[in-house]
Chains A and B, each alone.
Chain A
Amino acid sequence: KQEVTQIPAALSVPEGENLVLNCSFTDSAIYNLQWFRQDPGKGLTSLLLIQSSQREQTSGRLNASLDKSSGRSTLYIAASQPGDSATYLCAVRGDPQGGSEKLVFGKGTKLTVNP
């Protein structure tokens, strides 16, 4: 059974700092990995998606990497801003060949960027 772990559970940093959020998963037979952002009381917004054949994806100040063999992904946020404060969730999708389109989520990292 796939399990996804995110460390740390919470992180507080000063504005302008570069930071890394970590995600690990137990079964490396994944189809892709998605990073989401969730603001308080809101739904999930997809930030980046990395296919299993890819090593990284970038969008603006965000960069996500994937090391499938070791079961790890990182989300790098450059020059953090107070508006980046949110909970960041990592989710992995099983191999559709195995009949699974399900996403398995980690419990998230709550990020606070202080002005």
Chain B
Amino acid sequence: DAGVIQSPRHEVTEMGQEVTLRCKPISGHDYLFWYRQTMMRGLELLIYFNNNVPIDDSGMPEDRFSAKMPNASFSTLKIQPSEPRDSAVYFCASLGNFEQFFGPGTRLTVL
């Protein structure tokens, strides 16, 4: 398996624009997680899904953030409109029996 795949790897956009981050989990993993990492706050869980259903979105910072998982092999995290304080690295992870496996991340810069 290729592991967790995320795209794009880097995204630079201007304030107010819509940003869509994409994730393909490891095949057969039932859980998918979206995290955000910044120097100030470390690694924060935004939302996670079980069998494509959102289970806990309490970490989503604002209504500007939304996430979907239309099928077992694809998820998106959307920010609309984006703001400079959204600049961070966004990670997707999937959970096998016991371990979480992380994607390489998307580095988002909002100017």
Contact = CB atoms under 8 A, between A and B. Distances in A.
A43 B104 contact: yes
A103 B50 CA distance: 14
Contacts of A36: 102
Nearest to A46: B99
Contacts of A46: 99-102
A114 interface: no
B105 interface: yes
Interface stretch (B12-20, B40-48, B66-74, B75-83): B40-48
B99 A43 contact: no
B56 A102 contact: yes
A30 interface: no
Contacts, number: 44
Interface residues of B, number: 21
A51 interface: yes
Interface of B is mostly: strand
By size class, the interface of chain A is 20 to 34
B48 A42 contact: no
B102 A44 contact: yes
B101 A102 contact: no
Interface string B23-34: 000000001010
B99 A108 contact: no
Given A41-B107, A102-B33, 19 more contacts: A34-B99, A34-B100, A36-B102, A42-B104, A42-B105, A43-B102, A44-B93, A44-B102, A45-B102, A46-B100, A46-B102, A51-B98, A89-B43, A91-B100, A101-B50, A102-B48, A104-B45, A107-B42, A108-B42
